[in-house]
Amino acid sequence: MTEDDFDWLTTSPLGEAACVTMVKTTDVDAVMRGFGGVAGEARTIPFAEAGNDLDEAYAVAVCRQGEYVVAIEVNGFQGSRPEVLRRVSRLGETVSAFWNIEALTRFSYAVDGRVETAFEAGADSWKEGEDPDCLAPLVAEIDWEAGHWRTGLLLLAARLTGQTFTEDWLDGEVLVAPIAEHLEDVHPVTPGFESLEYQHPVLAAALHRAEDELLLTVARAAVDEVVASAGVPGGDTEFDELVRMARYEAGASGYGSYASGADRLQLVALDAVRALRTAPNPLTAAFKTIDAAKLAKQLDRLDPAPMLARFLELLGSPPAPSGADGARASTGGPLERHAWITDHWLGLAASITYARSAQLDTIAAAFGGIAFGAGPVSLTDTEQVALRREDDWTIAIAFNRSPFAHEIVDALRPHTTVLNVGWETRGNQLAYYARPGHEVNVIRPGQGDVPTPLASYTRSLPAPAGNAAPWLLALGEAVTGITFTPERLDAQHTLLRPG
């Protein structure tokens, strides 16, 4: 078998985007059901007549080929999903090859309900699964150069199964069924990447610090908020099947405008109950069910704030993180001195502005804000900027990095030298620097050339690591001579509400 065996692919219906999954079994119906095929709407027709069915977003064509049942999706991807692979591989050894028009690819190998390995086309691509390198010798034999990805995927599948996907596989009859797609796993919370952490950071911080029993109490309360008027059935029915079919009947996810408000609310409630039942840990259960409860309020055009306040009360109304919050700076090089920020509550998202010889009134005007009090730097759900003087600089600290940092720099640069460093765990990490009468310079750590005005400051710094926040604070130290220490966050700051 060589790549030449797949030259026919270029002019076939599968050429641009497809997923081909081969399961070592003789049970065509079981494979169809494993893909989520709706048995009551399945029909057996020639593949040549299945075009309209397979052009739909979710449909699968299934047929028997030797020792294997082959599932073919045109412009589909269900066979690349671990939830599907785990199901069908319980029937027999399974291989799957996926590609699309945007050059995204995926090869998967699953056995006995386990995804052993899955990876993008390429000998050196990152692999995941129970045994990621189990196919390494075979993968190394494939030509993965650009333009050979599709044929490489199918050639690897053929060498694994002993079955070469030939064009005549598309000549016969296939069982075609629309798909009520299997539900995604409830994945554990990933700190720094959850929407609640940015939209309601005080509640999110309280969840991260709460004991398991309190988290489950909040999760149950969130579910109660949703299910009270949604008509969600109780009992121990096959809940995933219920949710899956409810979504299918409402259309795709059911959250779009094509589903009625009642349908959408019921689907949100079903998802909330499922999250509580299947979440891998209490923290995930709390985050996912609160997200569902918020969405339900939004669908009802109600303000979720009172509900979220009740959840915080259930957690004991803990004070918001403030100041150093137990963090201590290390000694060593510039990155070591600022490494504490990675685990600090400001490490999630922050904007730090340094302005030389600038009065507080000038800084306040740049933010368009009014001073309302004094205190340490604290985490808040509302916008707040904390100002303090240190040596010849005024430092302005804002949680949740402002998307308008460049406007702050523009407003201050006619008056003074100004540096702004900012980061989001899930977003941009960059710095702005300007002097009076000069253009604004921008640095994205580790990307592109360093602007000339900052080159003298960055020469002494090591290369930025994956999390650039310590490097950005080290840049601030190089420019201003000020080490940004956690202890200084406990000092009294002028507190400002931006306009």
- pLDDT truncated to tens, each residue of the chain (499 aa)? 677 788 898 888 898 899 999 999 999 999 999 999 999 999 999 998 887 777 776 899 999 999 999 999 998 999 999 999 999 999 999 999 999 988 899 999 999 999 999 999 987 889 999 999 999 999 999 888 866 888 999 999 999 999 999 999 999 999 999 999 888 889 999 999 999 999 999 999 999 999 999 999 999 999 999 987 676 765 555 788 888 888 888 775 555 555 566 678 888 899 999 999 999 999 999 999 999 999 989 888 899 999 999 999 999 999 999 999 999 999 899 999 999 999 999 999 999 999 998 888 888 888 888 888 999 999 999 889 999 999 999 999 998 756 568 889 999 999 899 999 999 988 889 999 999 989 999 999 988 888 899 899 998 899 887 789 999 999 999 999 999 999 999 999 999 988 7
Compute the Cα dihedral for 333, 339, 341, 344 and give only its sign.
negative
Q: What is the pLDDT of residue 46?
A: 92
Residue 55's CB: how many other CB atoms inside 10 A? Answer: 12
Establish how many alpha carbons lie within 13 A of residue 331's alpha carbon, considering only the half-sphere containing its beta carbon.
Answer: 0
Contacts of 212 (CB under 8 A, 6+ apart): 281, 282, 283
Quote the CA–CA distance of 47 and 94 in Å, as a whole number: 22
For residue 65, give Cα distances in angstroms to 42, 212, 469: 19, 50, 55
Torsion, Cα of 66, 68, 74, 76 (10° steps): 180
Are 218 and 260 in contact by the 8 Å Cβ rule? The answer is: no
The pLDDT score that the predictor gives to residue 236 is: 52
Contact 491, 383 (CB under 8 A): no
Is 169 exposed, middle or buried, given 0-12, 13-18 or 19+ CB atoms closer than 10 A?
A: middle
DSSP 447: B
Which residue matches tokens 């045994």? 131
d(C-alpha 209, C-alpha 88), whole Å: 39
Selection from 377, 424, 425, 417 nearest residue 398 by Cα: 377
Q: Retrieve residue 71's tokens.
A: 């599932």
Do the beta carbons of residue 492 and residue 475 sit within 8 Å? no
Q: What is the pTM (predicted TM-score) of this model?
A: 0.84
Residues 6 or more apart from 143 whose CB is under 8 A from it?
A: 3, 152
Q: What burial letters (b/e) apply to 237-273, b meaning 16+ CB within 10 Å? A: eebeeebbebbbebeeebbeeebeeebbbbbbbbbbb
Q: Closest Cα partner for 150 from 14, 258, 40?
A: 14
Q: Give just the sign of the alpha carbon dihedral 155, 157, 158, 160.
A: positive
CA angle 322, 323, 324 (to 5 degrees): 120
DSSP 444: B
Residue 2, CA distances (Å) to 12, 14, 161 in order: 18, 19, 14
Q: Evaluate whether 431 touches 472 at the Cβ level (below 8 Å).
A: yes
| Torsion sign over Cα 194, 196, 199, 200 | negative
Contact 109, 95 (CB under 8 A): yes
Contacts 24+ apart (CB under 8 A), 51-58: 51/13, 53/176, 53/178, 54/13, 54/176, 56/178, 57/252, 58/178, 58/179, 58/180, 58/181
Q: Which two tokens stand for residue 448?
A: 């592109």
Which DSSP symbol is given to 316? T
CA gap 131, 11 in Å, rounded: 35
Where does residue 461 rank: exposed (0-12), middle (13-18), buried (19+ CB within 10 A)? Answer: middle
d(CA 490, CA 485): 10
Which residues make beta-bridge pairs with 127?
A: 119
Phi-psi region of 251 (alpha: psi -120 to 50; beta: other; left: phi over 0): left
pLDDT at site 253: 52
* CA distances in angstroms from 231 to 228, 251, 263, 267, listed in the order given: 7, 19, 10, 10
